[in-house]
Amino acid sequence: MSVTRVLVANRGEIAVRIIRACQSLGIETVAAVSEADRDSMAAKMANRAVCIGPPRSVDSYLKVENLIAAAHGTGCDALHPGYGFLSERAALAETCAQNKITFVGPSPQNITMMGDKLEARRIARGAGVPLVPGSDHAKNPHEAAQLAAQIGYPLLLKASAGGGGRGIKLVWNASEIEDTFRTAAAEASKAACSSAVSSISKMRSMPPDPRTTGTPTNRPSTPYSPCSRAAQGSTRFRSRRIASTISNEAAAGA
């Protein structure tokens, strides 16, 4: 199925890059913008801009019904979510399919499987993909403390749902684990309606603790060698391909 007009359901630099890519392919674009982004670069670059709601993202870029209405109203046959916002929400991909709009991204099944970190780890482990040492699930702060003692510090707490870094917390030592667990769970619940903390993962490489050395922690990590980057890319590809194969097999058996 050919695509002739794409609704760009994102903002800023992300939207600009999508629009430029579409222009290079001869595809028309419609920029979905909030009231605050009417005069943005993306709105000026696209063939057309359509307002999808008030300035707050929760009332515009995160409203599935607004995006679908905008796509229908402007004659778009495809929707590109960019990354962030609704790009990892299966509900958007499913609604696009129901409305015969091409979703530029993974299938709803793939998004569901890989969006839940517990399920993603299970799939990766079953396929022999290397995993960072850690636990699969911590049910409460006390259990998290016990698991952390076995894994060692520093470590990361990761919520099973969410995105954009929400619900991911760095823990330096045992005195921080229980309070950090509660904070991660609260953030994940607010962002993704799920308070489950999926895993506790050992940090492989970490800058010195600024509380003891005065060194900032936001500096780049040690650069990967070309071989390491190639290996990491291969692992990611394998994970996505495995998820796609599983969802296809499930669809065939339905």
Single-letter amino acid code for the residue at 62: L
Which residues of the chain form CATH 3.30.1490.20?
129-212
CA distance 57 to 206: 33
DSSP-derived 3-state class of residue 205: coil
What does the alpha-carbon distance between residue 197 and residue 139 come to, in Å, rounded to a whole number? 7
Place of tokens 């489950």: 196
pLDDT for the residue numbered 219: 43
Give the per-residue pLDDT at 221: 44
pLDDT at 245: 55
Say what the pLDDT of residue 158 is.
Answer: 78
Structural contact between residues 148 and 139, judged by C-beta atoms closer than 8 angstroms: no
Start-end of CATH 3.40.50.20 domains in the chain: 5-113
Residue 218 pLDDT: 46
Pairing status of strand 5-8 against strand 78-80 = parallel
Residue by residue, pLDDT tens for the chain (254 residues) are 689 999 999 999 999 999 999 999 999 999 999 999 999 999 999 999 999 999 999 999 999 999 999 999 999 999 999 998 999 899 999 999 999 999 999 999 999 888 777 788 888 889 899 888 777 677 788 888 888 888 888 988 877 665 556 667 889 999 998 888 888 877 766 654 444 555 567 665 555 555 555 544 444 444 445 555 555 555 555 555 555 555 555 555 54
Length of the chain: 254
Please give the CATH superfamily to which domain 129-212 belongs.
ATP-grasp fold, A domain (3.30.1490.20)
For 104: left if phi > 0, alpha if psi spans -120 to 50, otherwise beta; the answer is beta
Q: DSSP letters along 69-124, please?
A: HHHHHTT-SEEE--SSTTTT-HHHHHHHHHTT-EESS--HHHHHHHHSHHHHHHHH
Q: Of 177, 186, 183, 131, which is closest to residue 154 (Cα–Cα)?
A: 177
SS3 content of the chain, % helix, strand, coil (to 5): 50, 15, 35
Q: How far is CA 96 from CA 20, 105, 114, 232, in A?
A: 23, 11, 19, 31
pLDDT score at 55: 96
β-partners of residue 156 are: 170, 201
User: What does residue 66 show for φ and ψ, rounded to 5 degrees?
Assistant: -70, -40
Q: Domain 5-113 adopts which CATH fold?
A: Rossmann fold (3.40.50)
- Residue 3 — left, alpha, or beta (φ > 0 → left; ψ -120 to 50 → alpha)? beta
- In angstroms, the CA 98 to CA 207 distance is 47
Q: Which two tokens stand for residue 151?
A: 């894994």
pTM above 0.85, yes or no: no
Q: How far apart are CA 47 and CA 32, in angstroms?
A: 11
